[in-house]
Structure 1
Amino acid sequence: MTSTAPLRILLFAGVRDAAGCDVANVAVDHPVTAAKVIESVAAQIPAAAPLIGVSRLAVDGRYVGPDHVIRHADVELALIPPVSGG
């Protein structure tokens, strides 16, 4: 059974800067994978899409793979772009 539900995704670093906001709200059909969430955010914020495409999704403080299924009980979703340093 599928159901549509809004997700609130926190945006960080370069993604936040490119998007011009620190939160993206997307409506998705559940069950939904991390890859689909990232794709939905990229479609909603085209200016940040290239960076979003190489970012990782963290669910409740842990990075998840693209096949991870987002649950209704998940509290915090965050999109984290790659980080470089020296």
Structure 2
Amino acid sequence: MQLHVKLFAMLQEQLGDVIVVSVPEQPTADQIKQAIADASPNLRQVIGTARIAVNQEFTASGPLDVGTDDEIALIPPVSGG
């Protein structure tokens, strides 16, 4: 299945607003993150600490019931001062 994943902050600056990845049906958050990391290995560490949100809610572990109409986002940790 092909998913369009919205990106934010540093990931958005490096990769653009959206990345399209191929994942199995009912992927886990880790599988989505792995697919993005495979496409951009230089950002693997940031991707590893980011969180997946589906329809504006952070996900739990386990398979996700997502479809092509769902909004999927990869949100990296934020720091400020």
Unaligned runs of 5+ in 2: none
> Residue 48 of structure 2 aligns with which residue?
53
| 1:23-69 alpha-carbon deviations (Å, 9 max, x no partner) | 11011110211111011111111122211110000100011123251
Give 2:37's aligned residue.
42
RMSD: 1.6
| TM-score of the aligned structures, taking structure 1 as reference length | 0.82
Identity of aligned residues (%): 35
Any gaps of 5 or more consecutive residues in structure 1? none
| Aligned pair partner of 2:4 in 3, 8, 31 | 8
Q: TM-score, normalised by structure 2?
A: 0.86
As a proportion of its length, which structure holds more strand? Answer: 1
Question: In the alignment, is the contact (CA less than 8 A) between 2:26 and 2:63 conserved in 1?
Answer: no
Structure 1 runs of 4+ off > 4 angstroms? none
